[in-house]
């Protein structure tokens, strides 16, 4: 199983890096849209929408949101990014409520609305980041490496020192020590990234804070998907990726990280 996971991760990682750096923004956005459609299919399946008509309706909503963001990036696109970041702030309260009362179940409408925002916002964030003259593909790659490094740091720190459960009612395997490991790994990546991307020395501290906040919210993305699966009795979101489950299981952290990261960069530019 470990070898299978590693092989899948290496192949996917290589493809993602190539796609980010080699594809023009329009093609990058198209590929990302297809990935998110698969994620949407898994989300719809988890909440119990089985018929073709129901799923087609869900796909249409996501396509409409992403299409509007692509056609009107400076208004609708940025609006969805800000909406996404705000959603993840509110999701902290949602997670806390479930952690205190895990027997409660949220209705299908709430989960469908959450899915629309959780999947449309990261598309807009990553597309805007990729096409931006000020940031570009290098910042997209940094965001991905941040999330990957945080995930690895959390895993190894949790295995070595994990004692205190983070949210046992949602994800029993996660620990506070794992969070510290994620932040430590992210700090290293952020410093290296700031140097490689040529961030001005006086802006390293705010840049580091944005990266650390991004990682903290990426954990909430992971937890929200875990809550979705727990409420609907599923272990994985799908079986598409050998050893990794479904697409949602791989992008759950990124769905939260992307809008928060882009909003953080934008606020830094505004405050400059």
Where in the chain are the domains? 2-270
Instruction: For residues 98-103, give the mean pLDDT.
Output: 88
Q: Is the pLDDT of residue 271 over 50?
A: no
CA distance 124 to 82: 10
Cβ-proximal residues to 96 (8 Å cutoff; 6+ apart), any chain: none
**pLDDT over 70 for what percent of the chain?**
95
| Residue 141, pLDDT score | 98
User: What pLDDT was estimated at residue 136?
Assistant: 96
For residue 43, the model assigns a pLDDT of: 96
Q: Nearest CA to 58 among 45, 40, 70?
A: 40
Contact between 123 and 26 under an 8 Å Cβ cutoff? The reply is no
Burial of 198 (0-12, 13-18, 19+ CB in 10 A): exposed
pLDDT score for 7: 75
Distance CA 147, CA 12 (A): 14
What residues have CB less than 8 Å from 160, skipping those under 6 apart? none
Is residue 5 over pLDDT 70? Answer: no
Confirm if 88 and 256 have CB atoms less than 8 A apart: yes
pLDDT bracket for residue 103 (50, 70, 90): confident
Least confident of 2-6, 94-98, 158-162, 262-266: 2-6
Average pLDDT for the chain: 92
Find tokens 């580091």 and name the residue.
Answer: 208
Write down the pLDDT at residue 243.
58
* 9-40 per-position pLDDT tens digit: 788 889 999 999 999 999 999 999 999 999 99
**Please, which pLDDT band fits residue 78 given cuts at 50, 70 and 90?**
very high
Express each pLDDT in 106-130 by its tens digit.
Answer: 999 999 999 999 999 999 999 999 9
Q: Which of 5-9, 21-25, 44-48 has the highest mean pLDDT?
A: 21-25
Q: What is the model's pLDDT at position 270?
A: 53
- Angstrom CA distances, 144 to 16, 93, 210, 257, stand at 9, 26, 14, 9
For residue 95, report the phi and psi dihedrals to the nearest 5 degrees: -65, -40
Cα first-last separation, the chain: 48
> What's the whole-model pTM score?
0.94
**What pLDDT does 12 receive?**
84
């Amino acid at each position: 199983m470990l070898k299978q996971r590693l092989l899948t991760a290496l192949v996917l990682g290589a493809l993602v890096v190539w796609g980010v750096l080699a594809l023009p923004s329009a093609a990058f956005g198209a590929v990302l849209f297809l990935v998110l459609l698969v994620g949407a299919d898994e989300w719809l399946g988890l909440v119990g929408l089985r018929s073709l008509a129901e799923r087609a309706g869900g796909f249409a909503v996501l396509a409409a949101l992403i299409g509007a963001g692509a056609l009107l990036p400076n208004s609708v696109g940025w609006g969805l990014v800000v909406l996404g970041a705000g959603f993840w702030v509110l999701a902290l309260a949602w997670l806390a409520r479930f952690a205190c009362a895990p027997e409660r179940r949220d209705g299908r409408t709430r989960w469908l609305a959450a899915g629309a925002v959780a999947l449309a916002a990261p598309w807009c964030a990553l597309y805007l980041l990729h096409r931006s003259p000020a940031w570009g593909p290098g910042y997209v790659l940094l965001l991905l490496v941040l999330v990957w490094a945080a995930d690895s740091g959390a895993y190894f720190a949790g295995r070595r020192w994990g004692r205190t459960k983070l949210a046992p009612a949602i994800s029993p395997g996660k620990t506070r020590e794992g969070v510290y490991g994620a932040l430590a790994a992210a700090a290293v990546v952020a410093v290296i990234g700031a140097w490689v991307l040529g961030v001005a020395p006086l802006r390293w501290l705010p840049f580091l804070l944005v990266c650390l906040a991004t990682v903290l919210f990426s954990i909430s993305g992971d937890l929200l998907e875990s809550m979705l699966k727990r409420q609907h009795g599923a272990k994985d979101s799908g079986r598409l990726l050998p050893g990794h489950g479904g697409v949602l299981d791989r992008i759950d952290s990124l769905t939260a990280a992307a809008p928060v990261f882009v909003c953080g960069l934008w606020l830094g530019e505004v405050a400059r």
